[in-house]
Structure formats: structure tokens, C-alpha cells
Amino acid sequence: MNYDYKKIEKKWQNYWHENQLFKTENENLKPKKYILDMFPYPSAYGLHVGHISGYTATDILSRYYRMKGFNVLHPFGWDAFGLPAEQFALKTGKDPEEFTKQNIETFKRQLIESGKGIDWSRELSTADPNYFKWTQWIFKKLYEHNLAEIKDIEVNWCEELGTVLANDEILIVDGMMVSERGNYPVYKKAMRQWVLKITEYADRLLDDLKLVDWPENLKEMQRNWIGKSTGAIINFDCLGSEISFDVFTTRPDTIYGATYCVLAPENPLVLDIVTSDEEESVRNYIITTKQKSDLERQTNKEKTGVFTGAYAINPVNNKEIPIWIADYVLPHYGTGAVMAVPAHDDRDNEFAIKYGLDIIEVIQGETDGAFTGDGVHYNSGIIDGLNNSEASEKIISYLEKIKKGYAKNNYKLRDWVFSRQRYWGEPFPVVFDENNNIYVLKDEELPLELPKMKNIKPSGTGESPLANAHTWLNIEYDGMKVRRDTNTMPQLAGSSWYYIGYILKEHLGMIPLNTEEAKKELKKWLPVDLYVGGTEHAVGHLLYSRFWHKFLYDLGIVDTKEPFLKLVNQGMILGPDNTKMSKSRGNVINPDDIIFEFGADTLRVYEMFMGPIEAEKAWSTEGVAGIKRFLDRMFRMYSFEIVDNVDELNMIHHQTIKKVTEDIEKMGYNTAVSALMVFVNEVYKVKKMSKKQARDFLKLLNPFAPHITEEINKEILKQHETLLYSEWPIYDEAYLVLDEVEVVVQVNGKLRARLSVANNTSKEELENIALNNENVSKHLEGLTIRKIVVIPNKLVNIVAN
């Protein structure tokens, strides 16, 4: 008695879809649960089994909470704008919009065939004008609140792709920057770009991490990326010049030990202060630095630099100190300049030793290299005899008095470079007049849509392909001749607020974001209760969406400070060879193949049984076949006699309810499946079940294997109510208390007896029972008992010689 999974699964998928059984109702009588997947970019390759793992994990929880009486929002959509579609279109000549829509159809089919229960009435795409109208509106508001501006900035430029790339779109190969897509060369280039001032929110982004239940390692990644440090700004004059520059330091107390200064090669002052003798080497070094990523510059152990020929004046003792440039100083961190104290900083120490620069100790401490700990200052003028914190306070006060410095917090976080030189993205809702004055489009003029273009190759001018859309580009606006922006927004724009878009999605469009109705709906559903996705978004999407959410909070549109309450990072599923799945290795597992050969329920249960959701796991075809056998066996179990009561199964029945309930709540799906397997084994021992046991088990298995359980429920148990909206089973504590337990008896560590005794028998009684056991007594003959160790309900160990 095996089940025809192909027929059964299609039957139930059609039933759910036709009856819209996953549609979320807008009612307030039930408590809410908002369970969200990180939505995918719809590539040409379709979903892989790694996607299915995370999507099944959230589907199980969504189904569970529906049965627990919650109003569940579990939507889905598409991160549809972006570089991959544009690159595919360039190679094939296809339209990126049509290509993306075709891919969405494939992804959607795969999701439905996997049994995932989605409210498709809320489906959205970031490339839908009804959606990106509001992405453009949010940008408008950022501009109106002085959080978006155009400025000249150093960016990562990829000539081959014809666009700026974000740091997380770059790889380091043989010490050089290349694009993640295509491995094309990337270099630093100054360009005029839109930037969003995420730095204005740095402290809130740090402080509010305490409000969310996220993995600690992910929180730490965000803290490090934001990189807050407390210190001081100190002003240094250049010798023989009216030029001066500021440095940021976290150790102002060490200023008397500063023996040189270092500027970032990109610092505009460099070419103003360099001497003629050093100019050629300085210019060559600047060119070399542009080929390196920020990460490589920060982590490269081999420190390099070039002397500018210029000198600075230390403001506290008027000593002349040389000015160098070095790639380990970044232009956007602090002021793009540092004072170097080689006696008390490891990096400065290495640099000073390499280039023969002075090392002056100003804090007492024993070490072979730089002493970076707390200590008493000496050789330090007004702060002699003070420890670090006292010295810092006093020197800052002195610098403020002589107008050469002040206390300051600093951040590694950079403003978000928001321009992309691409066609396939959200156009900026702005125009420029002949004098480059900016005019923002009116709300009623949104959305600004892309023009249809056959040729979307890069313009060759550093602008996007939109530079060739002359009719769209050059228009008359309010009686002026104006030009639209040829840049488009980055892919991260649309994904920064899509969790809000689901809530506001209606059949023909969206509830306008700037209405009271929108605020009411958002208050009902936010924050997201559970968000599941990969760690690769830690300092990209997750940081930017938190920034946009806080901005919308400031506008009064949302009333929660954070968008995602709980976050779970799913682990990667490796290939059968225990390596990352990739087409080049030929180890990619296509879920379509698994569903065809074994069924969707088997795929779902297997992926949950592989191990903890957060763990990295290797694929096993044998493991998949094992789960198929389990489901076949479970199906045959329903051919056993079903009666009014089966006392022998009462205890395992209620133990299973308790275990599965607790495991689903904490997403311990692998152990929940194990408990379900144990129950099946117990049923096979007695070859019968009670009606309640039979239906309760189906309810427990249903979130994992929804098709086969619904089929058994309707066609074998003849139940009219679907499991989907049935009531989750409740366990009875009375059946969880064991009447008897097995206690092992050892003599000198060797098993001598197994005792069946009353639960919670006292230590004294267990000793007596063990000592009176015939086999135990035999092995104690001629021996003197030295010690008896008793662990109630488990073990008696007798030590004798």
C-alpha cells in the first residue's frame, strides 16, 4: 500500500490554490504572526535545494501557527531589478523585463510544487511600477529631509560592466579587485553620485541591536561594519604653509609620542603638499592604491607607503614630524589622516621600523613591540603621571583651549553610494536644469518608468544606457528644458522596504504609503516576527532596510523601531561531495528532479531531517530514499485497525505531541521528525491506533508533509475538515509521567543487571534492590563494597575489591 505522490501532490496543490486557503484575512480577532523569507533574485537557473530548505522551514512554522489559531501572513515576491538580468539581456539580446518575468514563472511553479503555502494575492515584484512608485517616493522623502545628496566620491568602477559596484559585489583575486559577476577588473574612480546619509543613523543602528533577537555573530558583524570609536579630532599645521589637516585618533593621550603623520593617498591635500622631489613616487603610489579594495588595504600585513617631502607641526610640543601617505589609511574613515605613535600602536610600529622612523615611548609598560595597554604617562608634558583615560580628558581639554582639537566619535560606516550606471533599475524621480539645479518630481508624476530600449549597452561615457534614450532623457518640465538622471537606483533600494510592501499589497496595486490606512495596516503587522535567510546579507540588505525603516519611523509611517524581530540564518546545503554546490563542479541538486523521483513531501521532510536549520549539511541521495521509505511506511500504517482506544500508545502519543510542539517552536525540525519516526515504530509494534491518535499524528506531521497527510485525512479517515485549519493537538501531562523506569546496575563499571522499578524510587531503596539482585550478589562474592553511586531513575554503580 504505497501512495501515488505525483497524483496526490498535484491534487492538493490545486485544491489549496483554487480555494485560496493561504490568503491572509485582514481581521484583528486572532493574534498575528508575520513570517518572512528573504525573497530571491529570479535568475535563469531556478530554485536550488538550498532555497527549498529555508522556504520549507518558514512554511512549517506558518502552517503550525495557523493550526494554533494565529492570523498568519506568509507572503512571497521577487527582487526583480538588478545587474544579472541586465547582463543576461546584453549577452542574449533579450529584454530584461521579459527575461525576469519568465524566470519568475519558473520560480513560482517550483515553490507551488514544493508545497509552500503562500498568500499569492500579496505577491510583489520590485520591478512593478505600482511598487517602485513608492521606492521613488521614499527616495523623495530622503532628499527632502537632507538625507540624499549628489557629491563627488571615490567609487568602485567596473569598466566591463559599465557600472559602479558596492563593496559586497567585489572579490579579491590575486590581490586585485574584480567583480563578483564575471570576475572583471574593478578600480577606484571619482564620480558624481547620489549618496544616502546612513551615517546620520549610525548610533541608532548600533543601539537598537539590543531590541532584536538575532544571532550574536550577525549583530557583531553590523557593529564592526558601523565601527564606532570614541576619540578626538586634532588639527596639525603643515610646515611653511597655510595648509592644515585634521586627524582622528582614539588615543589623544599619546600625542607626545606622535613621530609622523599619514594621509590617505586619495586625500586631496596630498598633491598640494608634496614636494617636487617626491611627486613622481607619490603619483605612482596613488595609481597603485586605486587598484586595491578597502578590505585588502585594511588587512594586508605588508605595510607600504611613500614620503611626501612635507612636514607637520605637533600642536602640543611644536615638533616637526614627516608626512607620509600609506594605503592602510582610508579616505572615508575619520578624516583620511592619522597621527602615528609607533611606540603605542602595532600598525604604526611596523611601519616605523620598516621605514626607519622615530619611535618615542610616552607610557610606561613592558613589551617587545608597541605597548598598547593602560599605564602612567611620561615624556608627555602636561599629562605626565596620568593614566590613559585621565590623560585623554586633560589633553582634549587643552586642545580645545588652544583651538587645536575636540572630542569626537567616529565611524567606519560610509554613506550609501546609491547610483548605478545601469538600465534595469528604478529611475531617480528628479530632473536637472541647465545649471544642474535639482527638481524633484511631484507625487502625482510617480512612478517614473523606464523607457523601452532595444540597445541597453553601456553608453561609453560613464553614464548608464539611459543616456541614449534621448526622447525620455531631455524633456520640458514646468516651462524649463531639463534632463533626467541617467543613473538608476541599486538593487538594494527595492529590497529595503519590501516587507512593508506585502502588507500594503492589494489586488490592483498598493495602499498608498502616505495614508492613515497604510499606517493602520503597518501597525497591525509589524514588526516581522520571523525572518529567515543567509548571512551574506548581514551588512548589506539587513543594514540598509534597518536604515530605511528608522527613517519611515521618523516620518510616523511605521511605529516600530526595528523591522525584523527575530532572525534565523539557514545553513548552506553542500553537494554530495561535501563542497559548495556549483555548476562548474557538477554537484548542483535540482529540486525538480527530487520532486519528480521522490515527491515534494519527501524533499521537505528530508531537508528538515538533515540537521539543525542553522547548520551546514551535505546532500545524500540515500538519505532522501530513506525518508521516502519512512513516508511509505507511515502511509501503510493507516491500513492498521483504527479503534476507539489503544492504551499502549497513550504515553508515546502525548510524548510525541509535546516533543514536536516544542521543537517546532524553536525550529528544531530534525529532532521533531525523529520523534515522529519513533511514534510510527511504536504503532507497528501493536498494529493499531485509536481514532484520536491517528488524526493527531497527521496534524503533527502535516506542516512537514502536507500533501500525504491531507490525503490520508480525507480519503482514509474520511474527515471533512482539512488539516490546514484544524486545531493543533494538546498533550495531557498525566500521560507524560512514567509509572516504571529501567535502572542499570553495574559492578565495577560492568553491567550486571537491569531493574524495572517504580519511577522516582529513592536512592536507599535502589541500593537495597540492587544488592538483593541475584546476579549482582554473585559478582560481589568475596569482595568488599567501597562505594555505591546512585543516579535515580538511571544507574546504580557498585565499586568493590
What is the rounded CA–CA span in Å between residue 106 and residue 41? 12
H helices present in 539-649, as ranges: 541-554, 591-598, 600-609, 621-637
Answer yes or no: is 146 within a domain.
yes
Are 724 and 615 part of one and the same domain?
yes
Region of poorest pLDDT, from 276-280, 299-303, 740-744: 299-303
What is the rounded CA–CA span in Å between residue 702 and residue 690? 18
What does the DSSP 8-state code read for residue 589? P
SS3 617: strand
- Give the number of domains in the chain: 4
What does the DSSP 8-state code read for residue 462? S
Answer yes or no: is 375 within a domain.
yes
616's grid cell: 551546514
Are 379 and 250 part of one and the same domain?
yes
Are 344 and 431 part of one and the same domain?
no
Are 339 and 273 part of one and the same domain?
yes
Are 486 and 629 part of one and the same domain?
no
Report which of residues 549 and 1 the model is more confident about: 549
CATH of the domain at 253: 3.90.740.10
Given CA atoms 112, 115, 121, 125 in this order, what sign does their dihedral have? negative
Answer yes or no: is 127 within a domain.
no
Check if the beta carbon of residue 563 is closer than 8 Å to that of residue 528.
yes
Which tens digit of pLDDT belongs to each residue from 404-442? 999 999 898 989 999 998 899 999 999 999 999 999 999
* Mean pLDDT across 7-29: 91
Which residues have CB under 8 Å from 712's CB, separation 6+? 635, 638, 698
Q: What was the pLDDT predicted at 300?
A: 76
Answer yes or no: is 326 within a domain.
yes
What is the rounded CA–CA span in Å between residue 413 and residue 222? 10
Are 235 and 282 part of one and the same domain?
yes
The reply to whether 151 sits in an annotated binding site is no
* Mean pLDDT across 191-217: 95
What is the rounded CA–CA span in Å between residue 497 and residue 511? 14
For 312, phi then psi, to 5°, come to -110, 165
- The Cα-based distances of 283 to 114, 306, 456 in angstroms read 58, 10, 36
Are 350 and 423 part of one and the same domain?
no
Last residue of a domain, one of 709, 735, 761: 735
What does the DSSP 8-state code read for residue 579? S
Which tens digit of pLDDT belongs to each residue from 588-639? 899 999 999 999 999 999 999 999 999 999 999 999 999 999 999 999 999 9
What is the rounded CA–CA span in Å between residue 406 and residue 230? 11
Burial 634-652 (b: 16+ CB within 10 A, else e): bbebbeeebeeebeebbbb
498's grid cell: 519590501
Answer yes or no: is 516 within a domain.
no
Which tens digit of pLDDT belongs to each residue from 458-499? 766 778 899 999 999 999 999 999 999 999 999 999 999 999
Banded pLDDT at 734 (limits 50, 70, 90) = confident
Check if the beta carbon of residue 238 is closer than 8 Å to that of residue 245.
yes
Q: Rg for the chain (alpha carbons), in Å?
A: 33
Check if the beta carbon of residue 754 is closer than 8 Å to that of residue 744.
yes
Check if the beta carbon of residue 619 is closer than 8 Å to that of residue 576.
yes
Answer yes or no: is 561 within a domain.
no
What is the rounded CA–CA span in Å between residue 536 and residue 388? 38
What is the rounded CA–CA span in Å between residue 33 and residue 526? 9
What is the rounded CA–CA span in Å between residue 185 and residue 203? 35
Last residue of a domain, one of 369, 389, 410: 410
CATH of the domain at 637: 1.10.730.10
Q: Which helix (H) or strand (E) holds 11?
A: helix 5-18
Check if the beta carbon of residue 6 is closer than 8 Å to that of residue 599.
yes
Pairing state of beta strands 176-179 and 124-125? unpaired
Q: What was the pLDDT predicted at 393?
A: 95
Residue with cell 596613488: 286
Beta bridge partners of 72: 33
Q: What is the pTM of this model?
A: 0.84
Residue 316 C-alpha from the chain's centroid:
46
Are 659 and 789 part of one and the same domain?
no
Indicate the average pLDDT of the chain. 93
Q: What was the pLDDT predicted at 155?
A: 83
Most confident of 150-154, 279-283, 458-462: 279-283
Q: What was the pLDDT predicted at 156?
A: 85
What is the rounded CA–CA span in Å between residue 12 and residue 561? 40
Closest C-alpha among 566, 572, 555, 562 to residue 612 = 572
Are 267 and 291 part of one and the same domain?
yes
Are 209 and 282 part of one and the same domain?
no
Check if the beta carbon of residue 514 is closer than 8 Å to that of residue 557.
yes
Are 362 and 474 part of one and the same domain?
no
Closest C-alpha among 275, 316, 276, 297 to residue 172 = 297
How many Cβ atoms are within 10 Å of 786's Cβ, its own excluded?
10
292's grid cell: 586595491
Query: What is the residue-wise DSSP string for 369-408?
Result: S---S---B-S-GGGTT--HHHHHHHHHHHHHHTTSEEEE
* Mean pLDDT across 41-67: 92
- The Cα-based distances of 127 to 111, 346, 450 in angstroms read 20, 49, 10
Q: What was the pLDDT predicted at 591?
A: 94
Q: What was the pLDDT predicted at 460?
A: 64
741's grid cell: 523506569
Which tens digit of pLDDT belongs to each residue from 86-143? 877 777 778 889 889 999 999 999 999 999 999 999 999 999 999 999 999 999 999 9
Q: Which helix (H) or strand (E) holds 766?
A: helix 763-771
Answer yes or no: is 504 within a domain.
no
Which residues have CB under 8 Å from 212's CB, separation 6+? 219, 562, 564, 565, 566, 567
Banded pLDDT at 175 (limits 50, 70, 90) = confident
Are 166 and 239 part of one and the same domain?
no
Answer yes or no: is 572 within a domain.
no
- The Cα-based distances of 800 to 124, 627, 673, 714 in angstroms read 74, 48, 44, 63
CATH of the domain at 771: 3.10.20.590
Report which of residues 786 and 293 the model is more confident about: 786
- Burial class (CB within 10 angstroms; exposed 0-12, middle 13-18, buried 19+) of 538: buried
Check if the beta carbon of residue 120 is closer than 8 Å to that of residue 107.
no
724's grid cell: 490546514
- End-to-end CA gap in the chain: 59
Check if the beta carbon of residue 375 is closer than 8 Å to that of residue 254.
no
Q: What was the pLDDT predicted at 1?
A: 62
Write out the residue range of the structural domain in which residue 720 sits.
591-735
Last residue of a domain, one of 452, 474, 491: 491
What is the rounded CA–CA span in Å between residue 51 and residue 66? 23
Pairing state of beta strands 148-158 and 163-165? antiparallel
118's grid cell: 503562500
CATH of the domain at 456: 3.40.50.620
* Mean pLDDT across 359-382: 93
Asked whether the predicted pLDDT for residue 508 surpasses 70, the reply is no
Residue with cell 527613517: 551
